[in-house]
A and B are shown apart, each in its own frame.
Chain A
Amino acid sequence: MSPDGFAFIAGLVKSRSGLVLTPDKQYMLDTRLGPILKKEGLASLDALALKLREPRAVALAEAVTEALTTNESSFFRDGKPFEHLKRVLPQLAAARPPGSTLRVWSAACSTGQEAYSIAMLAQELGAELAGRKLEIYGTDISHEVLARAREGYYTQFEVQRGLPARLMVKYFQQEAGRWRVNPALRAMARFEHLNLLAEFRHLGRFDVIFCRNVLIYFDSPTKTRVLHALADRLAPDGVLYLGGAETVLGLTDQLVALPAERGAYEHRRPVAKAG
């Protein structure tokens, strides 16, 4: 495709989602926008870029953004954050008054695997949460993945990625060749549309935030902005999980890495005065 066409689509996607598409990511346009070209009856990516310039092309712009920002996912992805969460949730539960609800946010939740992994982990912890309920809030920029997350259906391939068989038979139901998260687990999670570049103070405070493998797509100023907004939503003793390739270093001093826990961050504590 022409450099002009690429620059236009990249600019559009960046303004809508923060995703930075460098020219070496041209292949992503080729592989991910094919279905849209077909659906719209367009001959090429350049034709798509042309059509996107029309003022009425809002829905199309949204579809293009969604197609480029959707990532495949698996249950209990990367393992470590969930092992850490398993130790942290009982501590957070103990620090909250009886009857309170722990709030967990799965930011950029995609098709819901992360949110439901958290729900399963909480169910498995059971009495260790001392009666505190857990509420999981999943958000994503893509309406399509949110619809799938809400329904909680997974293909045979998806349900085997990262999910132990023991948990699969315990928390899923088999329906006509697909696997569906059971109603109790679905009731723990809510999925809403959210763009991380927009204002999200209305979401309230969270005890735990997962925002993994999202920042890698943003430029530095955007990373800093989003990290500050996330820190603002994180409870004083809460934990933020970032992706394995992500960091807060050089981006914000509001958050610090937990020692020996890769990917886990907390608020910087006020430095104790030397006695």
Chain B
Amino acid sequence: MSQGEAGATCLVVDDSRVVRKAARRILEKHGFSVREAENGQEALAACREALPDSVLLDWNMPVMDGLQFLQAARREFGPDRPVVVFCTTEGAMDRIVTALESGAQEYVMKPFDEEILRDKFVQAGLLQQDDAA
């Protein structure tokens, strides 16, 4: 099993409680300490309170969407932290390019499973490659 750095933190931002719960289960299994937010505005507040190592970010949410959050977070916290992994039903090429150009490190198209989330976190440098793989 690949493991995150000891005590690595992830903020899961999604307006669906079901998705947050599924993501939390996978991330905790890989050693992350997880917090949750329901939209971009809550996520920004959570980042100001304590900046997480990573953010798993939905795109379409009420109040403030994922892209608005990303842009605000990059202005406020810089390009490298937190590492942002989009996780959204938006699967069109131009959307993915927009997200990457706006400073997201990785992009997951829903639906996702544990393997995909793990792979993407490895690519974003948040998890070590499974040594036994």
Contacts and interface: CB of A to CB of B under 8 A. Distances in A.
A78 B133 contact: yes
Contact of A79 (B104, B108, B122): B122
A98 interface: no
Interface stretch (A118-126, A158-166, A190-198): A158-166
A161 B115 contact: yes
Nearest to B128: A79
B35 interface: no
Given A169-B96, A174-B93, A164 B123 contact: yes
B97 A78 contact: no
A156 B89 CA distance: 11
Interface residues of A, number: 19
Interface string B99-133: 01000101111001101100110110000010011
Interface in B66-80: none
Contacts of B93: 169, 173-174
B6 interface: no
Nearest to B122: A79
Interface of A: 74, 77-80, 156-157, 160-166, 168-169, 173-174, 244
8 closest residue pairs by CB, A with B: A165-B107, A79-B129, A164-B123, A174-B93, A160-B116, A78-B133, A162-B119, A165-B106
Interface of B: 91-93, 96-97, 100, 104, 106-109, 112-113, 115-116, 119-120, 122-123, 129, 132-133
